[in-house]
Structure 1
Amino acid sequence: MELKKFITHHLVKGKDLNHHGTLFAGRGAEWFVEAGFVAASAMTAPENTVCLNIHGLVFTRPVPKGSIVRYESKVAYAGRSSMVVYVKVLMAKDDDFVLDGFMTFIHVDENGKSTPHNLVVNPTEIEDIALHQRAKDLLKK
């Protein structure tokens, strides 16, 4: 399977701000997980997809009120029952980098037990091959 990119956007409103008047990290993290879930569940089924691990988030810049942020997500690696999703966040206006990171999702059955998803990820683009290796390395830790 090629790495399919999913794109979502969010408008940063007053309710999304911290005490500095910029995007609250908790809200940004919520949107980050949501974007990752979209990519993972699109490959299987939402009811069979659970988040296991968020592999770190580092915001590189503040995001002011009124900004539109773009979340780009893709399944970078698939194990037996796991999927590692890469998410990159950019300012929609000028493509300025905000943050990126990986999340591990698990495919589960109706009892919540991990079960094979039968996905195979075969990246062909240079950038996707590098993401695939980074994602695979995360599962070795």
Structure 2
Amino acid sequence: MRFHTRKWVKPEDLNPNGTLFGGRLLAWIDEEAALYTTIQLENSKVVTKYMSEINFMSSAQQGDIVEIGIGVKKFGKTSLTIHSEVRNKMTRETILTVDNIVMVNLGEDGKPTPHGKTKIEFVKDRLSNA
């Protein structure tokens, strides 16, 4: 799993308990999943279809830095299934895991369309092949 994004926990990210609000964290994960899928499928028209069980394991406080990791599980015909882990850089604890996030590739008509991808590609490899 590669950790692509870091977020600094700020006052506006906290719940009434003074810890990172789960909804904020899920929004960050959803955005990271969309960005990752857009880059992998080379299409900005992707949507989240499904998120499996979300397992909260620890929390984060104001001032902590969290990292969001994404890994590919499976390439489907019109989808990409990924998993995510979020960890606290300050405490080194895993905050949350999501086993399956299904992202769907859309065509110009807004309907699922085949993406033709079968493996992870890195931008540096695409540039060297150009």
The question of whether the paired residues in 1 share the 8 Å contact of 2:3 and 2:67 is answered with no
- TM-score w.r.t. structure 1 length? 0.77
Q: 2:51 aligns with which of 50, 54, 57?
A: 54
TM-score by length of 2: 0.84
Quick check: 1:82 aligned with 2:79? Answer: yes
Q: Could you tell me how far 1:95 is from its partner in structure 2? A: 2.6
Name the structure 2 match of 1:19. 16
What displacement does 1:46 show?
A: 4.5
Question: Which residue in 1 is equivalent to 2:41?
Answer: 44
- In the alignment, structure 2 segments of 5+ residues that lack a partner are 121-130
Structure 1, residues 25-69: CA drift from partner, whole Å, max 9, x if none?
A: 100110111121122111123522111111121211121111100
Return 84-93 or 41-50, whichever deviates more: 41-50
* Bigger helix share: 1
CA distance in 2: counterparts of 1:112 and 1:31, whole angstroms: 24
Task: Give % identity.
Answer: 26
- Is the 2:33–2:70 Cα contact (8 Å) retained in structure 1? yes
Give unpaired runs (5+ residues) of structure 1: 123-141
Aligned residue pair count: 119
Deviation at 1:6, TM superposition (A): 4.9
Compare the two structures and name the one with the higher strand fraction. Answer: 2
> 5 Å matches for 1:93-112?
93-101=90-98, 102-112=100-110
Structure 1 residue ranges, 4+ long, deviating more than 6 angstroms after superposition: none
In structure 1, what residue type is equivalent to 2:107? D
CA-based RMSD of the aligned residues comes to 1.7
